[in-house]
Structure 1
Amino acid sequence: MTTKLLIVAYSWSGNTATMATALQKVTGADRIDLTVAADTFSTDMYATSDIANQQLASGNMPALTNATPDLAQYQTILVGGPVWSAKVATPVRTFLSQLSDYHGTVMPFYTDAGTPGSYEVDFDDLVTAANVKPGIGLSSGQLASAATILRSWWEKAK
Structure 2
Amino acid sequence: MRADRYELVVQQPYPANYAASVARATEERESQQWPILDLSDFPSLDQYQLILLGHPIWAMTPANPMYQFLAQMGQQLANKRVASFSTNAGYGAGDTQIVLNKLTPASTRMLPNYTVHDIELAKTTQAFKQWLQKMVIVK
Name stretches of at least 5 consecutive residues in structure 1 with no aligned partner. 1-26
The residue aligned with 2:47 is: 73
**For 2:27, which of 29, 32, 54 is the aligned residue?**
54
Give the count of matched residue pairs: 131
Q: Deviations over 1:63-100 (max 9, x none)?
A: 11242100121101100111000011111112112021
For residue 46 of structure 1, report the CA deviation from its aligned partner.
3.4
Query: Secondary structure at 1:157's aligned position in 2?
Result: helix
Contact 1:40 1:62 survives alignment (8 Å): no
**For 1:121, which of 98, 104, 121 is the aligned residue?**
98
Query: Secondary structure at 2:86's aligned position in 1?
Result: strand
1:100 has 2:64 as partner: no
The residue aligned with 1:109 is: 85
1:84 has 2:58 as partner: yes
Could you say what the CA RMSD is over the residues aligned between the two structures, in angstroms?
A: 1.9
Comparing both chains, which one has the higher relative contact order based on Cα–Cα distances under 8 Å and sequence gaps of 6 or more?
1
Where in structure 1 do 4 or more consecutive aligned residues deviate above 6 Å?
Answer: none
Contact 2:45 2:76 survives alignment (8 Å): no
Distance 1:120 1:152, change over 3 A: same
Counting aligned pairs with the same residue, the percent is: 28
The residue aligned with 1:134 is: 112
Distance 1:107 1:99 in 2: 13
**For 1:34, which of 8, 17, 31 is the aligned residue?**
8
- Give the structure-1-normalised TM-score: 0.72
Counterpart amino acid of 2:104?
V
Distance 1:124 1:45, change over 3 A: farther
Name stretches of at least 5 consecutive residues in structure 2 with no aligned partner. none
Query: Secondary structure at 2:6's aligned position in 1?
Result: strand
Distance 1:63 1:157 in 2: 30
For residue 146 of structure 1, report the CA deviation from its aligned partner.
4.0
Query: Secondary structure at 2:85's aligned position in 1?
Result: strand
